[in-house]
Amino acid sequence: MRHSAVWAALAGLAGLLGGCSQQIDFQGIIATAKGKVYPSLVFVKPIREMFQSGERTRAEVFGSGVIISSDGYVVTNNHVAEKAIEINCVLGDREQVPATVVGLDPETDLALLKLRLPEGHPPLPVASFGDSDKVQPGQFVMALGSPFGFTRSISLGIISNTQRYLGFETSHQYNLWLQTDAAINPGNSGGPLVDTRGQIIGINTLGTWADGIGFAIPSNVVEDVVARLIEQAGKTSEDRWPVKVARAHVGLQLQALRDFNTNTFTDAQRGVLVQSVDQDSPADQAGIRGGDILLAVGALPLDGLYVEDLPRIRLILADLPTDRPCRFLVARGKGPATQPSQPARLADGSAPRPGDVGGRAIQELTLVPVARGKFEGEDLDCRRWNMTLKEITKFSNPELYFLQPGGGVFIQGVREEGNAADAGLAPGDIILKIGPHPVKTIADAKKAYEALTGDKARTDKRVLVTIKRGAFQHWKTLSWHKDYLQED
């Protein structure tokens, strides 16, 4: 029904323009645009290692991608390629080619693959990027991909919004999304969103349960991440792929000065509100506090009046050089303003004034960003215990990291019928100790598991496990006399 309406609108517009000296051929425009990208469309088939319900399994999933270089670089989504132990790609001529994961960026949900082409393979068809900053609401677009595994599918629609903020604070935190009513379904992930010039203006990423609402990562974000991954991969041996995008960490959670969804309003006209500061982070050590207003870093203003401004500011902070002092201009409280050594200039060329921030005192603080740690922790399959463990990181498990500062290990999944479930262990429990073995890292957990269940382990198949559940510690007796997996 939606596509019928689209074509009716196109036909009507063509009719209105019929009196012009040249009638517009919309079908021809769409066909020409499709022809520029369609040959480079890829059906991505990863075999993924999965940890769920307390077990490690393997499953073939599917997604989409697009070839961006004649030597075989393919862009797709991180959630398509992550944890893949094998990837095969089906090209436009139905040739199946194995691929290597070159780089992953979970924070933007982008991944870069490299097709392992046989020697002498002819050059591949390549799609080109457009400028997503020039995309306008109402513009016609096509979403290409393999929805539900149906390869080489196209849906037509328009751009509904060019700066959609979805409120992600961990993954996708640097993204403002292109919203479209072109159908984006499971399997479309990683495929290109294409304009009527046949250029990639986005990478399809998120669909919703609602009809006509889907989201794509803007092409300018994609190009930047791809360039970084290619550069990093060029400095890294292939046996250490996939590489990650290097980013800085300052330890700040930010909030817009005006947020109509949460009825947040401040009297400041410039800057961005500090919502909270991570303990012992560079921002904490620099003296930045929750409730402060950040006005600038270096000479670069930080204007976060609305929530749509937050991804850009987060990216500015993430791109700061690590282990080098950076000047932050901060407003707090009331009182006389200090004179910064080199006042940051606002858009109008003037320096920030107390009147811009509700009369707050303006001061300069020095912060030294550090390298951002791993986004997602490692997994461990405790097969005999019928549970899987995962490393806690501040970026993918902030709630658990708050309970266990510095990180640790938590129970990712528990088999419904198994030894861990019999012991009363549950997903989300933080492991503090396994028998005599303290557990602070996933390596500690692996060492304890192997010591207790390996060939040289004691005959008593029982151990006391110390966990943290919420704010409280618990002790659980874990026994593995029964082999549930053998019974299956």
Supply the residues annotated as catalytic: 79, 109, 189
Give the C-alpha separation, 174 to 308, whole Å.
10
The number of angstroms, rounded, from the C-alpha of 417 to the middle of its chain's C-alpha atoms is 33
- If you compute the radius of gyration of the chain from its CA atoms, what whole number of angstroms results? 26
Burial class (CB in 10 A: 0-12, 13-18, 19+), 441: middle
Give the C-alpha separation, 426 to 93, whole Å.
48
Q: Are strands 96-105 and 243-244 parallel, antiparallel or unpaired?
A: parallel
- Bridge-partner residues for 179, per DSSP? 161, 215
Residue among 381, 340, 334, 341 nearest 361 (CA): 334
Give the C-alpha separation, 315 to 411, whole Å.
32
Q: Dmax of the chain from CA atoms?
A: 91
Give the C-alpha separation, 318 to 228, whole Å.
13
- Name residue 216's amino acid: A
- CA torsion, ordered 174, 179, 180, 184, to nearest 10 deg: 50
